[in-house]
Amino acid sequence: MSWSDVLTPDQARQVSGLVDRATEFDGKAPVSEQGRHAIAGRGQARHLVILDDGVVVGYAQLQAGSDEHPDMAELVVDPAHRRQGIGTGLAASVFDEGRPGTRVWAHGNIDAAVEFAKSLDLVSVRELLQLRRPLSAPQLPEIVVPEGVSLRTYRGREDDSEILRVNNAAFSWHPEQGGWTQAEIDERTAEGWFDPAGLFLAFADTDPNTLLGFHWTKVHPPEGDEPELGEVYVVGIDPAAQGRGLGRVLTLAGMHYLRERGLDTVLLYVEGDNTAALNTYEKLGFEKFHTDMAYARNS
């Protein structure tokens, strides 16, 4: 087994098929959106594939962290080849390749993942919750914009520098969301789901060029038994503008937009220990739907 910085076109095709089969079997995708992008060659990552007679039956991906954040990994084994030691081998290679403190995601934290982590003496070190809420009932609260603040939607690249500034200030602590560059914005605005009418920006009336906060919404197409879903994709508030209720206002603006598009349900992701955000979302009617868990070696 050897790690590589890029997958061949055939490997990328096979790994994507493997991820699809595992998603259908487990009911949860084993690889994140960011991981999917890396498989397709649109993001930096290290890759490890396990072959059986030329067919990819196991895959691991390692995303490098920064000095402040650990490396993060995702792995998947073909459902027809499980309980043969492939997953154990992938996990061992991930921890050997990654820096000390490397973490492995278990998306959905299904029973099989919990048992797998226990068998390797791994401990849970990060919890990411998916919350959901119907958009029809309970009724959405009205949007009450604070005096002296105006909302508008995305106008194009002229807004990108302020979005980057606020995003990186608001998420300086976050291993995935922090440290964005223009490349991250360009990648997302090029996606088929992007709609400039679904990216909301808040400005002070006295300073219309300095962004206070933003809410980037997303629409997921139907997949399997899942209908089309809306997402509170990113809500970022400038730390200097905290305490003014802008998170709630921007979140509601996006939720009203998603409802007007005819969507029935909205989802979001939030760190399990982000008490302030959880409190805000619970007051807006969100409830826990599932949990992603990151595991590390027990040190």
pLDDT tens digits, residue range 251-261? 999 999 999 99
Neighbour tally for 288: CB within 10 Å: 14
Would you state the pLDDT for residue 63?
94
263 pLDDT more than 90: yes
Gap between the Cα atoms of 135 and 123, Å rounded:
36
Would you state the pLDDT for residue 53?
94
Helices of type H across the chain: 9-26, 33-39, 86-97, 111-119, 160-170, 182-189, 246-260, 275-283
176 pLDDT more than 80: no
Q: Which of 101, 23, 111, 99 is nearest to 59 (CA)?
A: 23
- Burial 140-156, CB ≥16 within 10 A → b, else e: beebeeeeebebeebee
Which whole number is the average pLDDT over 109-124?
92
Which whole number is the average pLDDT over 236-250?
94
299 pLDDT more than 80: no
Gap between the Cα atoms of 209 and 159, Å rounded:
9
- Which helix (H) or strand (E) element contains residue 10? helix 9-26
Would you state the pLDDT for residue 226?
81
What's the N-to-C CA distance of the chain in angstroms?
26
Would you state the pLDDT for residue 42?
85
Cβ(86)–Cβ(77) under 8 Å?
yes
Would you state the pLDDT for residue 103?
96
Q: What is the pLDDT of residues 60-104, one digit of tens each?
A: 999 998 777 899 999 999 999 999 999 999 999 999 999 999 999
1 pLDDT more than 80: no
Q: Which of 89, 98, 97, 104 is nearest to 50 (CA)?
A: 89
- For residue 144, give both structure tokens: 């009450």
**pLDDT grade, residue 230 (50/70/90)?**
very high
132 pLDDT more than 90: yes
213 pLDDT more than 90: yes
Q: What is the pLDDT of residues 270-296, one digit of tens each?
A: 999 989 889 989 999 999 999 999 999
